[in-house]
Amino acid sequence: MSEAPALTIKNLSKTYDNGFSALKGVDLTVPQGGFFALLGPNGAGKSTMIGIISSLFKPTTGSVHIFGNDLLENPSVAKQYLGVVPQEFNFNMFEKVEDILITQAGYFGISAKEAKPRAERLLTALGLWDKRDSMSRELSGGMKRRLMIARALIHKPKLLILDEPTAGVDIELRRSMWEFMQQINIEENTTIILTTHYLEEAEQLCKRIAILDHGEIRINTDMKDLLAQLSVETFVFDISTPLEHPLQLTGVTEVTQPDDFTLEVTLTEGESLNGVFAQLSEQGITIASMRNKSNRLEELFMRLVDKNIQNGDSMKESGL
Ligand SMILES: Nc1ncnc2c1ncn2[C@@H]1O[C@H](COP(=O)(O)OP(=O)(O)OP(=O)(O)O)[C@@H](O)[C@H]1O
Ligand SMILES: [Mg+2]
């Protein structure tokens, strides 16, 4: 396969028939290989972008290339590389689970005989093999979501796009779904783009992240660099014995005591967590446990959205 990126989007815009501009000249390149997170608040334009990539509708301007193949000029080739799990269930509710996969394979010129072992492997891995003869409408919500994933993978796409694949899926199942997705990523060398509102998923899985907001890409960077940019972090300490008097800590941005057994310490970049440990220990305070007050990506996201509400479209100059 060529060295072309898995996905290249240039100047992509979409104005819906009612005049609403959902995408405003988006440029995005997703390299081959790992997991890529596309995040953004409700209505940011994520599903619009994915709708264009899956040829559900045409962009107003711009181009999409999948592994170097122009989607608008050469859709049949580009689509061979692509599997999409849309946000809304869109399979035939009156078709049986296994048949849905076999039918899908047919769209890619794969015979039923050839598709069957692959369908069995996918349905087994996603915990749906027992349901293979059930009508799809009889599945639970989480099962329907997994059926969407199995269907998207039947033709071994090199790029898999998942639009909120874990919405409505319980925590345990989510974990096993991601394990499976990681397996596909490694064994089949499939690049995976995902949107999610569970930001911790993006943080754990994705090497790169783009944030879309009001139809524009605000951030496109390495997850590591992004997290490093977040300069303020709050730690919550659970204390073993009650604090008898107000605590004095130096070299921290803020310290609060919500109750006698809890201490919240905010550090800005450059301030040392080790310094906090040392001072607590000097003062004879034993720490039972410690955790981050909130997920850092979540914090960034909130700041992004807050700023946007306050400043209209001036986010770009904010340097975030
Ligand atoms: N068919 C349509 N006609 C007009 N406007 C639309 C249409 N589909 C979506 N929109 C609007 O485009 C904007 C982007 O919607 P989109 O579904 O792409 O957002 P999203 O980022 O996927 O949000 P969510 O996180 O809620 O899924 C929204 O303001 C939405 O109301
Ligand atoms: Mg959406």
Residues 206 and 220 in one domain: yes
- Say if 302 falls within a structural domain: no
Residue 146's pLDDT is 93
Which CATH number belongs to the domain containing residue 177 in this structure? 3.40.50.300
Residues 80 and 199 in one domain: yes
Q: Considering 227, 248, 280, which residue would you say is the last residue of a domain?
A: 227
pLDDT digits (tens, 9 = 90+) for 34-78: 999 999 888 999 999 999 999 999 999 999 999 999 999 999 999
Residue 307's pLDDT is 59
Ligand 2: centre distance to CA 163 (Å): 7
Residues 113 and 177 in one domain: yes
Which CATH number belongs to the domain containing residue 269 in this structure? 3.30.70.1560
Residue 318's pLDDT is 35
Q: List the domain range (segments joined by +) for residue 217.
A: 7-227
The answer to pTM > 0.75 is: yes
Residues 39 and 114 in one domain: yes
Number of domains in the chain: 2
Residues 153 and 284 in one domain: no
- Say if 25 falls within a structural domain: yes
Residues 211 and 195 in one domain: yes
Residues 140 and 222 in one domain: yes
Residue 314's pLDDT is 38
In the numeric block, which tokens belong to residue 75?
A: 């859709």
Residues 222 and 262 in one domain: no
Residues 292 and 255 in one domain: yes
Ligand 2: centre distance to CA 205 (Å): 20
Q: Considering 227, 242, 259, which residue would you say is the last residue of a domain?
A: 227
Cβ burial 294-304 (10 Å sphere, 16+ → b, else e) = eebbebbbeeb
- Say if 22 falls within a structural domain: yes
Residues 150 and 281 in one domain: no
- Say if 171 falls within a structural domain: yes
The residue whose CB lies within 8 Å of the most ligand 1 atoms, and thus the one to mutate among 13, 15, 18, 20, is 20
Q: Is 161 exposed, middle or buried (0-12, 13-18, 19+ CB in 10 A)?
A: buried
- Say if 301 falls within a structural domain: no
- Say if 291 falls within a structural domain: yes
- Say if 309 falls within a structural domain: no
Residue 227's pLDDT is 77
All residue ranges of the chain with pLDDT < 70 are 1-2, 295-296, 301-320
Residues 98 and 20 in one domain: yes
- Say if 79 falls within a structural domain: yes
Atom of ligand 1 nearest to the CA of 49: 18
Ligand 2: centre distance to CA 238 (Å): 38
301-308, long-range: CB < 8 A, 24+ apart: 301/39, 301/41, 301/199, 301/211, 304/211, 304/213, 304/218, 304/219, 305/41, 305/213, 308/213, 308/214
